[in-house]
Structure 1
């Protein structure tokens, strides 16, 4: 159950970071209204709070989040931006995901 809770927090944090960044991107690059950027900034600030909900130490949490962010960024781009990941994107994301699972979920003494 602890792993599911941890993964849920990582996913929520990823959605906040990617979603907030995407809203700012739309404002600055796609000429969306200013409030897109303002909302994006609020969502990004919330990401900073969500990440602290993890129970592991800062270094492991942020290292792990980096790998999960890779996977989530590719999924976001595929579903939201019409980007089709190729086999090398998928292989790289899987390697990152395996690595972060070792970092965060391996039992230690």
Structure 2
């Protein structure tokens, strides 16, 4: 259950960060309404909050280092699904390696 909860929190944090950044990008670079920026800012605050819900035994550094692996995968998925830019083979291999690294950071016995 702890692994499932951690994965869900990482995914939610990643989606909040990517969607928030994307909305701010749309506001500032694609001349969208200021409300894109406001909603993006709200999502980015949510992104800052979500990692604090990870298990207490994990330090800030470990949580954010492991989150980096999840962020890589989610960023590639966002690019594929939202911007219609599918990842190439090296990107997929790199994303898999990042996830393995994230798992080692969090779950390697200490």
What is the TM-score with the length of structure 1 in the denominator? Answer: 0.96
Unaligned runs of 5+ in 1: none
Distance 2:13 2:107 in 1: 18
1:12 equivalent to 2:2? Answer no
**Runs of 4 or more off by more than 6 Å in structure 1?**
none
> Structure 2 length as normaliser, TM-score?
0.95
For residues 107 and 17 of structure 1, the distance between their equivalents in structure 2, rounded to whole angstroms, comes to 29
- Tell me the C-alpha RMSD between the 2 structures: 0.7
Q: Which runs of 5+ in 2 are unaligned?
A: none
Q: 1:78 maps to which residue?
A: 80
**1:94 alignment partner, one of 93, 96, 102:** 96
Other structure's SS at 1:38 match: helix
